């Protein structure tokens, strides 16, 4: 994923965003934003783990009347 490549040395995204390490990364896109949590489970960068954090939002509010 894009967020994983931000933490890996030698990638184009790491060159653009060099200060990104592990932890929460916020990726913005036309429909909103996506939070991804990166963690390193070993001593090398090949054991990178990415977890997507999603929430829901209320899309409408209303009342229903039943006879």
pLDDT tens figures, 31-41:
777 777 777 66
Average pLDDT rounded to a whole number, residues 21-36? 75
The answer to whether residue 48 sits within a structural domain is yes
Q: How confident is the model at residue 4 (pLDDT cuts 50, 70, 90)?
A: confident
The answer to whether residue 12 sits within a structural domain is yes
The answer to whether residue 31 sits within a structural domain is yes
Say how many domains are in the chain. Answer: 1
Domain residues for the domain of 24 are: 2-53
What pLDDT is attached to residue 43? Answer: 62
The answer to whether residue 6 sits within a structural domain is yes
**Predicted TM-score of the model (pTM):** 0.49
Q: Quote the tokens at residue 15.
A: 């060159």
The answer to whether residue 63 sits within a structural domain is no
The answer to whether residue 65 sits within a structural domain is no
- CA torsion angle 47 2 16 44 (round to 10): 0
């Amino acid at each position: 994923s894009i967020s994983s490549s931000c933490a890996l040395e030698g990638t184009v995204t790491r060159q653009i965003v060099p200060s990104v390490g592990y932890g929460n990364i916020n990726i913005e896109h036309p429909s909103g934003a996506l939070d991804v949590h990166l963690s390193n489970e070993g001593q090398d960068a090949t054991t990178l783990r990415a977890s997507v954090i999603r929430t829901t939002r209320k899309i409408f509010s209303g009342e229903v009347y039943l006879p």
